[in-house]
């Protein structure tokens, strides 16, 4: 079964690399008009732009750690697309919030993590929902994490808490808005082959050891799931969270 997004406009945040880049490519291949976001210009953004038949200047650059960034981004998206059919909230940061050491690192870790991982996607969702209500519906896929369910390392509490918040807001709005044809889904990956995954040999060995499948997930696997959810093949899945972690955490 081929999943077709022809005629749909899809915003993908954090589209310059990793899951976002893979999602941009697969949605483009499925016929969508991809509106790609990144925090700033980069060679990665240039490459992704080419892969979706666009130019680097077509990217919308916005630093999501700044106040009201999500609202500013959505204003630019609607101006650019006029009609938006779907949003993929993928952009995120994985910063330490250490229990010991300097309090400044703790405070900075929490502040920036919550700004990028919670406030910005929440603001984007709020603006998107208002737009979808005017247009008769739409879909949102929020990228959360296995950590939102099981927690994370002792110095990554801010990250785990932020992804738990993403799961909670997705469920809340899915329950409230399904009757308006506004559908929300969450994806909770474990380790994915991106720059967030462990890179040093020992940590990589430990990470893979806890995955029964024997490897970390590939960005394309998450992107394929995004495409399925946006395709409209199963609207009854609204409110659900799809785990992609090689059975490392089974609920």
Residue pair 95/112 in contact by the 8 Å Cβ criterion = yes
Dig out the tokens for 220 from the structure: 């394309």
CA distance 136 to 208: 44
Dig out the tokens for 186 from the structure: 């969450």
Dig out the tokens for 175 from the structure: 């329950």
Nearest to 130 by CA among 65, 71, 213: 71
Residue 61 φ then ψ, to 5°:
-100, 125
Please say if 159 is a catalytic residue.
Answer: yes
CA distance 2 to 31: 11
Residue pair 38/59 in contact by the 8 Å Cβ criterion = yes
Within 10 Å of residue 85's Cβ, how many Cβ atoms? Answer: 22
CA distance 87 to 107: 30
Q: Which residue do the tokens 């918040």 mark?
A: 165
Q: Which member of 57, 61, 94, 159 is catalytic?
A: 159
Catalytic residues: 159
């Amino acid at each position: 079964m081929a999943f077709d997004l022809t005629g749909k406009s899809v915003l993908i945040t954090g589209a310059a690399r990793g899951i976002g880049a893979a999602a941009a490519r697969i949605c483009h291949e499925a016929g969508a008009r991809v509106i790609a976001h990144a925090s700033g210009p980069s060679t990665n953004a240039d490459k992704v732009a080419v892969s979706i038949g666009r130019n680097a200047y077509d990217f919308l650059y916005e630093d999501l750690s700044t106040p009201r960034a999500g609202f500013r981004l959505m204003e630019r998206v609607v101006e650019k697309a006029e009609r938006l059919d779907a949003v993929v909230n993928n952009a995120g940061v994985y910063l330490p919030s250490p229990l010991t050491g300097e309090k400044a690192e703790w405070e900075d870790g929490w502040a920036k993590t919550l700004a990028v991982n919670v406030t910005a996607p929440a603001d984007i969702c709020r603006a998107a929902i208002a737009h979808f209500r005017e247009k008769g519906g739409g879909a949102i896929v929020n990228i959360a994490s296995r950590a939102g369910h099981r927690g994370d390392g002792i110095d990554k509490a801010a990250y785990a808490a932020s992804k738990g918040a993403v799961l909670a807001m997705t469920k809340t709005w899915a329950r409230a808005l399904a009757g308006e044809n506004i559908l929300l889904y969450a994806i909770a990956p474990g380790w994915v082959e991106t720059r967030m995954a462990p890179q040093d040999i020992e940590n990589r060995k430990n990470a893979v050891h806890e995955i029964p499948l024997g490897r970390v997930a590939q960005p394309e696997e998450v992107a394929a799931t995004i495409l399925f959810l946006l395709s409209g093949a199963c609207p009854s899945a609204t409110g659900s969270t799809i785990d992609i972690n090689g059975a490392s955490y089974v609920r």
